[in-house]
Amino acid sequence: MHKRSPLAPDSFPHLPAIDGLGLAVAASGAKYKGRDDLLLMTLCSSANVAGVFTRSDTAAAPVQWCRDRIISGTARAILTNAGNANAFTGQHGQNSVSQTATALGAVLDCAAEDILLASTGVIGEPLDTTILTPHFPQLAANDTASWEQAAAAILTTDTFAKGAHAQCDIDGIPVTICGIAKGSGMVAPNMATMLAYVATDAALPAALLQQILSSSADQSFNAITVDSDTSTNDSVFLIATGRAKHRPVTSPDDPRLAGFRDALAQLMVDLATQIVRDGEGASKFITITVTGAATDHAARQIGLAIANSPLVKTAIAGEDANWGRIVMAIGKSGFNIDQNAICIEIGGFAVAADGMRVADYDEAPIAAHMQTASIDIAVAVGPGPGTARVYTCDLTHGYISINADYRS
């Protein structure tokens, strides 16, 4: 594992077990030595599951497998391997996911179609399933791993395990939500190069679960970027085991869901921003807020234009208050913005208003803000109702070093 990110949290949070969900880890040795690289999540019979996946045209074989099967809204297990993406591997890749699901299904006494799969790692290398399958009986027999062990098993270039926990009520009944994620580079919507698994004991039908997940993903995993590169393997799963004893909820408009929606949204933003804080080589965490755009979509694209600009990111890495690069990024976003309406703040200090530098501009407090670990940029682009918040990190030489050595 690379040197721990300076933006990492002090420790992994305590995540309680979710009733109806088993966790198991194992070390296959396929790529990494001396660490776990397989994660098996087993789901109880009452569980429903939803998923959102990469929109890349070169989606990996396990993503294609899951897209076809997530429609059922149910699954018996989710298996993840780290180190090999099983992406751009042709018919061999398709065969490997089928063989893996069939072998695991035989161990769990279920159909291959009841198995969901995820992979992360090097693209283009064939996956040798014979290295994985001998570990399936061990995984099936030991389903009491901790969330921290689960989070560690799926890491690649990550420098720390990522987890989050939330509590809420549905109908006055306590509900638990836990989640883990991995991701560090090749991070940009839609989604980032990441895997995320969120589980709750709430009893929610699959269609409702899918709607809630898609909405929450737009405000979290689809609002982050490290390097503007969209991965082949992005997958986010939301599992509801149905073990909480609240009354049935079937409508997305049910007011009893308000607390759950808020808790899930906050948890997913937490996980997403942890990915940014673990951006390869990152030394600064950056929040970009855009207001006044014609639509929320336009606001997010403007925010991403700023967040993905190498010139903006390297200036922040160098702690240079070169706000003209933000102006440049806004201008290239392609939304016919009136430059005379642009206002910019950095760290809460006004930089530009009404299309020009503010008359009393003082760079000293802005330069001081640039020396902190968390950078805040606020941009207004007009009188429109569209708003968005985007999260990113700076671009340092560390990013080059990590990716130059990725396969070694």
> What is d(CA 135, CA 153) in angstroms, rounded to the nearest whole number?
14
How far apart are alpha carbons 117 and 104 in whole angstroms?
11
Query: What are the start-end ranges of the H helices in 181-233?
Result: 206-218
How far does Cα 284 stand from its chain's mean position? 18
Question: In 3-state terms, the chain is what percent helix, strand and coil (to 5)?
Answer: 35, 25, 40
Helices (H), 83-205: 90-108, 129-132, 136-141, 147-153
Q: Is the dihedral of CA 330, 331, 332, 333 positive or negative?
A: positive
- Cα–Cα distance, 303 to 284 (Å, whole number): 17
How far is the C-alpha of 301 from the C-alpha of 217, rounded, in Å?
16
Cβ atoms of 278 and 160 closer than 8 Å: yes
Cis peptide before 191 (omega within 30 of 0): yes
| Other beta carbons less than 10 A from residue 35's beta carbon | 15
Token pair for 97: 């996911």
Distance between CA 251 and CA 249 in Å, rounded? 6
Count how many residues are written for the chain.
408
Do residues 358 and 266 make contact, with C-beta atoms less than 8 angstroms apart?
no
CA distances in angstroms from 215 to 98, 219, 385, listed in the order given: 30, 7, 19
- The tokens describing 144, both together, are 């009491």
Nearest CA among 127, 16, 14 for reference residue 65: 127
Residues with catalytic annotation?
Answer: 193
